[in-house]
Amino acid sequence: MSWTFVFVLAGAAYAFKFLGLVVVGGRTLPPALDRCLALIPSALIAAITVANTFGNGQHLQIDARAAGVGVAVVAAWRRLPLIVVIVLGAAATAVVRALT
Amino acid sequence: MSTDDPGDRVRPWHDEKLRGVIAACVTLGFAVGVYGISFGVASIGSGATIAQTCVISLLVFTGASQFSAVGVLADGGTPLAAFGGAAVLAARNGVYGFAMASRLDGGLATRMLAAQWTIDETTAMAAAQDDRRHGQWAFWITGASVYVFWNAGTLIGALIGSAIDPETFGLDAAFPAAFVAMLWPLLRERRHLRAAAVGALVCLVLTPFTPVGVPILCATAGIAMGLREDDDR
């Protein structure tokens, strides 16, 4: 890996953050757009969750991660604390992976 | 901007709800730090030095992009391919920033720091709070705690090298499990539930047909569920 790669990636990552929060953000928006923007975390986090659960590059697969995330869903539904949800999810994944 | 908020006059340490928020944010940071260890390990495995691995976490500071970049390099991909996937994944932080801009106080210097910390975890924790003040606390505490733990974890992981296999401990499921826990309170609102369902569906459908990172960006389409004015709850 070259240092150029490291710094170009860092520059691009910060540019996106800066563009959204400092350059474009902070303006008064029409209510409908405001309602839509409030939904960004829900839409994107749901997508990242399924990508991290079922995705493997461009392939979809059901493996030990699905079991772990299933356990995490039950734990979240039971309103267990965040760290407990994470530990149960990781532990369930590790156990299923070890058994299969 | 929030001077009329009576909550501003409550001292933080007398605010039981805020203590709960802080505990959750620090816990999340710790969990992310554990995952930072696996980034450190993965990065060393892709051929980066310990110094490069630590600088990536300090400066790039957006986990999905970092994993994507070192993952592509480890698979023998070109730096350009590694950069492309990572940049597409990083683009969503711009979308988060746009959403967070009106929810954060502070001038240019504050916002430039906030920008570096505008990532999945901080946006989700801030959005999960039901008022502006707690949302801001959640953003800054999560940002500080994730930054410290993520970078500490990266260093530890880089030093351990390939001594542990993160998958043996199910750590690859730690991220989605954490996201489930963060998403859950938001989904009580029907609009958020619809947006999440559309986002997840778009991502699943596009995954086999588009480059890594693109499905997650396209999932932004889910926010169209906010166009309807009715049924807020």
Torsion angle of C-alpha atoms B107, B112, B116, B117, degrees rounded to 10: 0
Contact A48 B64 (CB under 8 A): yes
**Residue A19 CB neighbour total at 10 angstroms:** 18
Taking a contact as any Cβ pair under 8 Å apart, which residues of chain B between 118 and 147 contact chain A? 118, 120, 123-124, 127
Mean pLDDT for the stretch of residues B24-43: 86
Q: Rounded CA gap, B123 and B62, in Å?
A: 12
Contact B196 A32 (CB under 8 A): no
Inform me whether the C-beta atom of residue B10 falls under 8 Å from chain A C-beta atoms: no
Query: B166 pLDDT band (50/70/90 cuts)?
Result: low
**Chain segment B108-164, per-residue pLDDT in tens:** 999 999 999 999 899 989 988 888 999 999 999 999 999 999 999 999 989 987 566
What is the reported pLDDT for A24? 79
What is the reported pLDDT for A41? 76
Inform me whether the C-beta atom of residue A74 falls under 8 Å from chain B C-beta atoms: no
For CA atoms B95, B111, A18, B142, the dihedral sign is negative
Q: Is the per-residue pLDDT at B217 higher than 80? A: no
- Exposure letters B6-38 (e unless 16+ CB within 10 A, then b): eeeeeeeeebeebeebbebbbbbbbbbbbbbbb
Inform me whether the C-beta atom of residue A99 falls under 8 Å from chain B C-beta atoms: no
What is the reported pLDDT for B231? 55
Q: Is the per-residue pLDDT at B60 higher than 70? A: yes
Tokens of residue A51, six digits: 């990508």
Tokens 């992310």 found at = B32
ipTM for this prediction:
0.84
Instruction: Give the whole-number percent of chain B exceeding pLDDT 90.
Output: 35
Mean pLDDT for the stretch of residues B155-178: 78
Query: B3 pLDDT band (50/70/90 cuts)?
Result: very low
Q: Which residue would you say has higher pLDDT here, B56 or B228?
A: B56
Please, what are the averages of pLDDT over each run of 10 residues along chain A (100 residues)?
Answer: 94 94 77 81 85 86 95 94 84 94
**Chain segment B192-206, per-residue pLDDT in tens:** 999 999 999 999 999
Mean pLDDT for the stretch of residues B166-189: 82
What is the reported pLDDT for B164? 66
Taking a contact as any Cβ pair under 8 Å apart, which residues of chain B between 168 and 227 contact chain A? 168-184, 186-187, 191-193, 195-200, 202-204, 207-212, 215-216, 219-227
CA distance A62 to chain B (A): 12
Contact A35 B127 (CB under 8 A): no
Chain A residue with minimum CA distance to B199: A43
Find the distance separating the first CA and the last CA of chain B, reported in whole Å. Answer: 26
Residues A60 and B204 sit within 8 Å (Cβ to Cβ): yes
What is the reported pLDDT for B136? 94
What is the reported pLDDT for A83? 75
| Mean pLDDT across chain B | 85
- Cβ contacts of A48 on chain B, cutoff 8 Å: 64, 120, 175-176, 179, 203, 216
What is the reported pLDDT for A78? 94
**Chain segment B73-94, per-residue pLDDT in tens:** 876 778 887 888 788 778 889 8
